[in-house]
Amino acid sequence: MIDEDAARRRIAERLAELEAEDARGRDGQAVVTLDQQAVGRLSRQDALLSQSMAKATQARRDRERRALAAALARLEEGEFGYCEDCGEEIASGRLRLDPTVTRCVECASG
């Protein structure tokens, strides 16, 4: 049995967490400027690497946010918790761990 209210709460909590992570990650994505105290190619490369990692992390959060929005849409349409391949119900434990899953264990592993 799928607890849709619990799924909605879990999705809302994760979306709030993503917003908080976004706020913390904005500085890391800023334009890299040369720090005059640490002049050198390695300092600039380190700053560019940090910026690249911050952008990759943001892209991961954006993908997760889209998956969460799709899960909410499935909840509204009455399709939440059913495998998109075989139509069988997805195990409630699997959905508790990750409400964005769209396939049952059997279809996901096959």
Question: What pLDDT score was predicted for residue 8?
Answer: 96
* Model confidence pTM above 0.85: no
Residue 36 resides in a domain:
yes
Residue 96 resides in a domain:
no
Question: What pLDDT score was predicted for residue 110?
Answer: 80
Residue 89 resides in a domain:
no
| Cβ-based neighbours of 47, under 8 Å, separated by 6 or more | 32, 35
Three-state secondary structure call for residue 89: strand
* Band of residue 34 on the pLDDT scale cut at 50, 70, 90: low
Q: What proportion of the chain, given as a percentage, has pLDDT over 90?
A: 65
Residue 45 resides in a domain:
yes
Domain count of the fold of the chain: 1
Count helices and strands in the chain by DSSP H and E runs: 4, 0
Residue 85 resides in a domain:
no
Higher-scoring residue by pLDDT: 52, 37: 52
Question: What pLDDT score was predicted for residue 100?
Answer: 96
Residue 31 resides in a domain:
yes
Average pLDDT over residues 50-67: 92
Average pLDDT over residues 94-98: 93
Residue 97 resides in a domain:
no
Domain that holds residue 27: 4-79
Q: Which amino acid is at 60?
A: R
Contact of 11 with 71, CB cutoff 8 Å: yes
Question: What pLDDT score was predicted for residue 39?
Answer: 55
Residue 73 resides in a domain:
yes
Question: What pLDDT score was predicted for residue 109?
Answer: 93
Contact of 25 with 58, CB cutoff 8 Å: yes
